[in-house]
Amino acid sequence: MTERQRRSPRPTTLDVDALLTDRATRIVVCCGSGGVGKTTTAAALGLRAAELGRSTVVLTIDPARRLAQSMGLAELDNIPRRVPGVDTSNGGDLEAMMLDMKRTFDEIVEAHTDPRRAGQILANPFYQSLSAGFAGTQEYMAMEKLGQLRAADEWDLIVVDTPPSRSALDFLDAPERLGRFLDGRFIRLLVGPARSGGRAYVRMLTAGFGLVTGALTKVLGTQLLKDAQTFVTALDTMFGGFRERADATYQLLQASGTAFLVVAAPEPDALREASYFVERLARDRMPLAGLVLNRVHRAAAATVSGSRARLGAERSIAAAETLEELGSGPLAAAVLRLHADRVVLETRERRLRDGFTAAHPRVPIVEVPAMPNDVHDLVGLRSVGTALTP
């Protein structure tokens, strides 16, 4: 086992401080599956960057209440606010904001059409459903807001948290999916053949135009079909603007000043998602900085040099059993059992990490130890920042 461990590739260590202090780094995107500590990581990175001297803004999506409060974020209002209590002696500072998804969407609509039509769109039940809960709206709006913050150019560094999606990849796909839909034939069918021109109309006829509209009415009902028609007609007028913005944001993500950090925990699901993400970023030529592995457990006693061989899990359990049979040393017996569990857990986490590294040997990793308590103040964020830069 020891031999095998020695032969398995060791990951290189991700240098977070170098990334944060590099003036060329303008955007850091934290992504990963839900429940791995993305928001805390983003906040801790922002704080560290600010205290290292960079003028930083953190865009958070859905922070825990107490974490938000500790950063001076009382409400979701789309306005970056100065975080109190940050050490600005190195010349940096920190602002933070929470994404208001619906408001961001409304603003896009207002920016791309005249007030009368904007009013119609905002009142449409389809728009309301879409802007409040489209599986991807949050992702799309986070990217939109990132584009806006970057365009404002008021900060040296933008740290962005991504939404807790089912799949970590959603936010890359969302703009394209919306674009594909708006470009799709269903829209043309609803808007009418006039817009799409002759060829699509001919294709539609061969698909059985009457049959299709008849079926649509039957399935969706007349009223729903009418609302959908009004909505997409209105949306259609803004389509060019939507596409343009989605493309611009996508290019921004590919730019050299952007760094993606994939965040995971040493669990099979989270690392599987992280793997997909690494592959996807490579395919889309998005700049990956490395993997932040949160909540890593280390058996303290195993790090004592030379003691690992002597105090592995089996040895610990055997020793605990000896004491229990003797009926003495209950404290030592408990501590040995505890240690055995820690060693088992550590071994498992290491195996999972090495599996990731075997698949992605060039992705640097930084491991952040599991904290006994939740982080909800600047002191806690600062200690996460320290842990991120061992």
* Window 263 to 282, contacts with another protein (CB under 8 A): 265, 267-270, 272
Closest CB to another protein among 282 and 335?
335
The site map against another protein for 343-382 (x = CB under 8 A) is -xx--x-----------------------xxx-x------
Chosen residue from 82, 195, 218, 362 binding another protein by CB under 8 A: 218
Binding of residue 300 to another protein (CB under 8 A)? yes
The site map against another protein for 107-146 (x = CB under 8 A) is ------------------xx-xxx--xxxx----------
Closest CB to another protein among 82 and 185?
185
Q: What is the 3-state secondary structure (H, E, C) of the chain?
A: CHHHHHHCCCCCECCHHHHHHCCCCCEEEEECCCCCCHHHHHHHHHHHHHHCCCEEEEEECCCCHHHHHHCCCCCCCCCCEECCCCCCCCCCEEEEEECCHHHHHHHHHHHHCCHHHHHHHHHCHHHHHHHHHCCCHHHHHHHHHHHHHHHHCCCCEEEEECCCCCCCCHHHHHHHHHHHHHHCHHHHHHHCHHHHCHHHHHHHHHCCHHHHHHHHHHHHCHHHHHHHHHHHHHHHHHHHHHHHHHHHHHHHHHCCCEEEEEEECCCHHHHHHHHHHHHHHHHCCCCEEEEEEEEECCCHHHHCCCHHHHCCHHHHHHHHHHHHHHCCCHHHHHHHHHHHHHHHHHHHHHHHHHHHHHHCCCCCEEEEECCCCCCCCHHHHHHHHHHCCC
Binding of residue 148 to another protein (CB under 8 A)? no
Chosen residue from 1, 2, 3, 223 binding another protein by CB under 8 A: 223
- Minimum gap (Å) between residue 312 Cβ and another protein: 11
* Window 35 to 54, contacts with another protein (CB under 8 A): 35-36
Chosen residue from 243, 323, 354, 364 binding another protein by CB under 8 A: 323
- Minimum gap (Å) between residue 94 Cβ and another protein: 22
* Window 1 to 30, contacts with another protein (CB under 8 A): none
Stretch near another protein under the rule CB under 8 A, chosen from 4-12, 16-24, 312-320, 378-386: 312-320
* Window 156 to 175, contacts with another protein (CB under 8 A): 164, 166-167
Stretch near another protein under the rule CB under 8 A, chosen from 70-78, 82-90, 277-285, 311-319: 311-319
Binding of residue 177 to another protein (CB under 8 A)? yes
